Amino acid sequence: MKATSIFGGVQVFNIIIALIRSKVVAVLLGPAGMGIMGLLLSTTGIIASATNFGLSTSAVREISQDHESGNNEKIVETVSVFRKLVWLTGLLGTVVTVLLSPFLSKLTFGNYDYTFSFILISVTLLVGQLTIGQTVLLQGMRKISWMAKAGIYSSLFGLIISLPLYYYFGMDGIVPAIILSAIAVFIIQYFFAKKIDIKSKFIPFKLAFQQGKGMLKLGFMISLSGFITVAASYIIRIFISRFGGVDEVGFYNAGFAIVNTYVGMVFSAMGTDYYPRLAQLNKDTEKSNLLISQQGEIALIILSPLICIFLIFINWIVVLLYSQKFLPVTEMIHWAMLGIFFKACTWSIGFLLLAKGDSKAFFWNELVGNIYLLLLNCIGYYWMGMEGLGISFLIGYFLYFLQIFLFCRSKYDFRFNNNFYRLFLLYLTFCIIGFLSAYFLNGLSLYVVGSIIILMLTALSFHLLNRKMDIFNLLKNKLGK
């Protein structure tokens, strides 16, 4: 909860920054501008997923285990190998993007007009990998406060750099904004990572490959699964672009930015410290089961009131974050918010496969899940438009929750504790009531009933957190200091 509160504050700040950025982009560039930006980023994201070898995840596991053992020599060796691999994978991503730039432009936009844009953006794959090299070190060594500060400064400077470019150059400012923001984030992350007193030692590339086999093996499977996830996201964007146009892609990007950024912030806040701790306990079934159950409970306690807030006030939120032009996404978001509930449960279990280092199991679970998620998305959009995407998100994550739960139960003897099941049923009931209210009520009656539900949920969550943590005394001590 300490890590969650710290990074929750960072995420709130990031949300404010993202709110300003998205509002400006929505006003200055419109749905088409958001669609172009989304297609550029998702396309380079595919290349990054295919070439980064999942080092951002596999290295955290290695560094956190070395940190727990207290073996400084081993930490230096792991970090040195990791930094060498980061350069290699970053350069690989850049070269591949440059070579494929005409093909990427034709495939993504149906013409070659964006070939030079992809060539320019290719540098962000190297810069992004170098940034990961700094972030992973902070996370693996559990430098929570430094990570938080780096996150805040990165968001702020990214905003300061990008907004003038959008204002003065319009859509022509999209590519420079992406590049300069990536460079700014790297500089900030490097500044904080340099504070950790770990000196790299020279390791030849051949030796780096030999010593980094563990990271590369796990990372390669993570990279493949990440590639599949990004590719599925890319395919659905292309599908929407072909059947609905670039504006519809902009709606899709805007809707899932709300779902994954403004509500999904809780996952980012909790996962930063949760994954390294679970990696340290992965050999102890009883302790890891307890940690996963506790993390699942906290996710439900924090997320459920947020889900209901977005369900009830989504029209106001969309107008506030974007503009009235984006109101067609509200029906999609209604259904997707219920899907977030199941995603929270899936998320808390899913880290177990990574903590165990079970790369094959992780890959196959991700592959199967992404296949039916993509199929559901295509079917949902084809038959029901934007609302169909929300329904497919809900069905997909319900199925994926059952899949990952049953798999971990059979292979790792995973069990949720009884308290989790009680909270799960209680909060699911509240969220369904909130969904039904948002779906069937409107106007004043919706806001009255919805506000009552939100107040009840918030009071319940605060009561449960206070019972677990004695929040009143914690706040009293903080104020006293």
Q: Quick: pLDDT tens for 328-354.
A: 888 899 999 999 889 888 888 988 887
Helix (H) or strand (E) holding 442: none
For Cα atoms 391, 393, 399, give the angle at the middle one, nearest 5 degrees: 105
* 299/4 Cα distance (integer angstroms): 10
Q: What is the pLDDT of residue 388?
A: 92
0.75 surpassed by pTM: no
The upper half-sphere exposure of residue 394, i.e. CA atoms within 13 Å in the direction of its Cβ, equals 17
* 73/203 Cα distance (integer angstroms): 14
CA distances from 91 to 48, 78, 158, 403 (A): 11, 20, 23, 36
In sign, the C-alpha dihedral spanning 332, 338, 342, 348 is positive
In sign, the C-alpha dihedral spanning 44, 22, 171, 131 is negative
Q: Which letter, b or e, does each residue of 355-380 get, where b requires 16 or more Cβ atoms within 10 Å of its Cβ?
A: bbbbbebbbebbeebbeebbebbbeb
In sign, the C-alpha dihedral spanning 410, 415, 416, 418 is positive
Residues 6+ apart with CB under 8 A from 452: none
SS3 category, 112: coil
* 130/89 Cα distance (integer angstroms): 9
Residues 6+ apart with CB under 8 A from 4: 266, 269, 270, 273, 298, 302
Structure tokens at 31: 């749905």
Q: What is the pLDDT of residue 377?
A: 92
Q: What is the pLDDT of residue 214?
A: 65
DSSP state of 263: I
If one counts every other C-beta atom within 10 angstroms of the C-beta of residue 333, the result is 27
For Cα atoms 210, 216, 217, give the angle at the middle one, nearest 5 degrees: 100
CA distances from 182 to 335, 365, 395 (A): 33, 31, 35
| Residue 30 region by backbone torsions, left for phi larger than 0, else alpha for psi between -120 and 50, else beta | left
Q: What is the pLDDT of residue 318?
A: 86
Q: CA torsion angle for 147, 152, 158, 163 (degrees, to 10)?
A: 170
AA letter at 199: K
Q: Which letter, b or e, does each residue of 213-250 get, where b requires 16 or more Cβ atoms within 10 Å of its Cβ?
A: eebbbbbbbbbbbbbbbbbbbbbbbbbbbeebebbbbb
If one counts every other C-beta atom within 10 angstroms of the C-beta of residue 93, the result is 24
Backbone φ and ψ of 208, nearest 5°: -60, -40
Q: What is the pLDDT of residue 381?
A: 92
CB 21 within 8 A of CB 206: no
CB 307 within 8 A of CB 340: yes
DSSP state of 110: S
* 133/191 Cα distance (integer angstroms): 12
Q: What is the pLDDT of residue 479?
A: 65
Q: What is the pLDDT of residue 448?
A: 93
Residues 6+ apart with CB under 8 A from 387: 331, 332, 334, 335, 380
Low-confidence ranges of the chain (pLDDT < 70): 1-15, 18-19, 22, 56-75, 139-144, 197-219, 222, 226, 261-266, 268-272, 470-472, 474-481
SS3 category, 201: coil
Residues 6+ apart with CB under 8 A from 206: none
